[in-house]
């Protein structure tokens, strides 16, 4: 009987937290609708995941490759690439990815980077 009352209280406590927890605060600004992963960005992500330097050099010019190198530094061995989302405005697309892997000293890390596209062309990396 005592245990049942305690467990009942426990359930009420969990429910009370679920009701009162507001999670992330409301965004006071408008948001853009998400768009599908652009094909050109998906090709770059695939080349990174497959450790394919030839495909990367075919798809990106030297300036963008250098920006990509800076964006993923200090990742040396990329194990995974996850597309997290993309938005489009006035023909410009931002496609966001998170790369997971290891640094030169064997530490597992994650790095986020964003491919900037105009039309079907990748024009920069942040």
Partner 1 sequence: MFGLNRLPPLVRTATMMLLLGGLVGYVGTAFTTTFVADSGILGNSGESNAAHKYMLALLQRQSESLSQLGPSGDVVSRALQQQNVSQQPQDVKPLTVTYLGGASSGRVSVQIYAVEIQASGGQYQFLPFSLTLIGGRVQRVE
Give the interface with partner 1 as residue ranges (CB under 8 A): 1-2, 5-18, 21, 23-25, 27-32, 34, 71, 82, 84-87, 89-90, 92, 94, 96, 98, 100, 108-114, 116, 126
Shortest approach of partner 1 to residue 13 CB, angstroms?
2
Q: Whole-angstrom Cα distance, residue 60 to residue 17?
A: 49
Contact predicate 113/94, CB 8 Å: no
Residue among 5 and 104 whose Cβ is closer to partner 1: 5
Which residue number, 47 or 113, has a Cβ lying nearer to partner 1? 113
Q: How far is the CB of 54 from partner 1 (least distance, A)?
A: 27
Residue with tokens 């993309």: 86
Distances (CA, A) of 12 to 1, 9, 16, 23: 16, 5, 6, 19
**Considering beta carbons, is residue 57 or 121 the nearer one to partner 1?**
121
DSSP state of 3: H
């Amino acid at each position: 009987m005592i245990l049942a009352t305690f467990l009942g209280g426990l359930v009420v406590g969990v429910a009370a937290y679920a009701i009162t927890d507001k999670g992330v605060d409301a965004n006071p600004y408008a948001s853009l609708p998400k768009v599908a992963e652009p094909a050109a960005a998906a090709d770059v992500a695939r080349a990174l995941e497959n450790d394919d330097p030839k495909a990367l050099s075919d798809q990106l010019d030297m300036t963008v490759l250098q920006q990509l190198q800076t964006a993923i530094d200090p990742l040396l061995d990329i194990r995974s690439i996850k597309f997290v989302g993309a938005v489009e405005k006035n023909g410009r697309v931002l496609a966001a990815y998170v790369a997971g892997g290891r640094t030169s000293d064997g530490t597992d890390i994650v790095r986020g980077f964003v491919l900037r596209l105009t039309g079907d062309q990748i024009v920069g990396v942040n």
